Structure 1
């Protein structure tokens, strides 16, 4: 029997970096318009369409709950099970949503940033298949540029890029692995993603090749680029 898949979408970010780059950002980037749809809706529609996905949970600020409920109803996002209030950090927001997930211990949890609207159905499907086989798997792309380590603006070292990856979302974990990872981490919360949490807890996490067009919106330039890519 295949594992059920449950998705956590993080939509609680305030978009500080984005607001600094765009005077027009009156609300968080995940709710801005991208090709006549809110940024977050692009991901919601794909997870709704994915037959392996059983349920969707969104962590967000309470002030956007009504907007999200309306968006889900209008676009028939029937897999949405709960909106969960986000925490002060991304780590806390994901953990809050994870605590609301009701599933079997060997089910798969996908964690995805709402600010990545261009993840493909193909990448979602291949990630789920890899997770069903290996357990903990994350999307990413290999580093192709030359990488330098600096002190201030002074180059100190050229880093070997052969084993370096740029990490993306979704990231996939078995429910019980993520649950135990939170327990092992205890009060430690300085994790930038759930892969680093699982690594800290002693679990092996694999990489799966994603798309370079699975861009995270952190600036107005990213939004403009995605408008061209996704047309």
Structure 2
């Protein structure tokens, strides 16, 4: 039997780097909005029992219309001005225990195998994330001068979903009210906890800039060709 989970998706961001003038999750790839592509993945997974979307209340009507088609239970909660606050409010909406995933709404290309792997690892360790090895040579710089070259074999680029024991991550978020982390795993690290890493896939990009829309269309075309 597959290990079940629930997922919190922060979806209240303005997407300033996209330059769209509105929530980037409303942008379309092959005629479907980014958030719909993301929700499709979890709605199609029988192991996903509940989805919480943390949204901008001013966009509530738009999101209500989008989630109506899904069979999985989806709750809409008011998000915050920062992603971390949105996640915290999403976690507060969940009852009971179990594994919760925290996933960027703008990562619509995560695959079922990666989800199953990170959920399984979180069941073992309490906290796990997807990440991929860094491909490029990374330089640490100051101004326009290189200080040193960081050993690439020690570096991985973090992705989502990130999977946690619900009680653990909810408690960590409460303790981190005055600390702003870069992702949810960083809060566990700040709190003294350990986070396991599961190797993900490079296709699991976060749609952040206009160039990523081009990459996203290419990923979808590739998947169509493989069907």
TM-score with structure 2 setting the length: 0.92
TM superposition shift of 1:135: 2.0
- Kept after mapping to 1: 8 A contact 2:88/2:170: no
Which residue of the partner structure matches residue 77 of structure 2?
A: 84
1:219 pairs with one of 209, 214, 226: 209
* Secondary structure, aligned partner of 1:113: coil
Task: State how far apart, in whole Å, the 2-side matches of 1:26 and 1:14 are.
Answer: 8
- Kept after mapping to 2: 8 A contact 1:61/1:85: yes
2:55 pairs with one of 56, 60, 64: 60
Within 5 A, what are the aligned runs for 1:181-200?
181-185=172-176, 187-200=177-190
Task: State how far apart, in whole Å, the 2-side matches of 1:175 and 1:4 are.
Answer: 13
1:115 equivalent to 2:115? Answer no
- List alignment gaps of at least 5 residues for structure 1: 20-24
Task: State how far apart, in whole Å, the 2-side matches of 1:220 and 1:182 are.
Answer: 32
2:197 pairs with one of 191, 207, 218: 207
TM superposition shift of 1:3: 5.7
TM superposition shift of 1:2: 7.3
Task: State how far apart, in whole Å, the 1-side matches of 2:3 and 2:96 are.
Answer: 10
Which residue of the partner structure matches residue 34 of structure 2?
A: 39
Within 5 A, what are the aligned runs for 1:1-231?
4-19=4-19, 25-73=20-68, 75-80=69-74, 82-104=75-97, 107-185=98-176, 187-231=177-221
CA RMSD of aligned residues (A): 1.5
- List alignment gaps of at least 5 residues for structure 2: 222-227
